[in-house]
Amino acid sequence: MKINRLILIFIISTINMLAYTINIKDKIPNMILKNQFNTNKKIPLDTKLIIITFDQDISNMVIDFLKNKNNFLSKNKIVYIKRPFLINVEVLQNLFKNYSLKSLDFDVLTLSDTYINLFKEKRDFITIYELNSHIVKNLIYLKTKEDLEEFFN
């Protein structure tokens, strides 16, 4: 009887976790994500912004923006996270156009299956979570590299 109850609690907790999406006023959970070198990284407590991309083209745009800015992420207490992309014909065709993440001098974290549904997915947009003490204060969507430049100026 006790084991059945524990199993039920586990199932309900798992379903709640999968259905949960971080909103304004929510606390960012402690999570461990892998960077491009397959190293475990935590989102630091003093993080001010989380930039998230859900599409390859948008990810490339953000990386292009960041790669010319020396220590931009660490200086500004920003974490960049991208969603893993499925391999499809389009990705294979553009394989040589994509950036080699291992050549970058900043971390690119990848959402694992555990956390993939935590962040609001808005295709073709850069999603920015503004934080204060790991609590979401604002949620911003940007469309272009110019929008990104303007946001940080």
**pLDDT by 10-residue block (mean), the chain, 153 residues:** 61 54 89 89 95 91 90 95 67 48 84 82 92 95 94 92
Nearest to 123 by CA among 55, 62, 52: 55
- Residue 86: the pLDDT is 57
Number of domains forming the structure of the chain:
1
**pLDDT of the residue at 98:** 44
- At residue 150, the pLDDT reads 95
pTM, entire model: 0.79
**What pLDDT is recorded for position 50?**
96
The pLDDT score that the predictor gives to residue 78 is 96
- Which pLDDT does position 114 carry in this prediction? 79
Q: What is the domain range of residue 12? A: 2-151
Instruction: Report the Cα–Cα distance between both ends of the chain, in Å, rounded.
Output: 60
What CATH number does the domain containing 44 carry? 3.40.30
**DSSP structure class, residue 144:** S
pLDDT of residue 9: 59
Q: Where are the beta strands (DSSP E) in the chain?
A: 32-34, 40-42, 49-53, 78-82, 109-110, 126-132, 135-142
Q: What is the pLDDT of residue 103?
A: 79
In whole angstroms, what is the distance from residue 5 CA to residue 10 CA? 9
Residues 6+ apart with CB under 8 A from 101: 36, 63, 108
Q: What pLDDT does residue 21 have?
A: 83
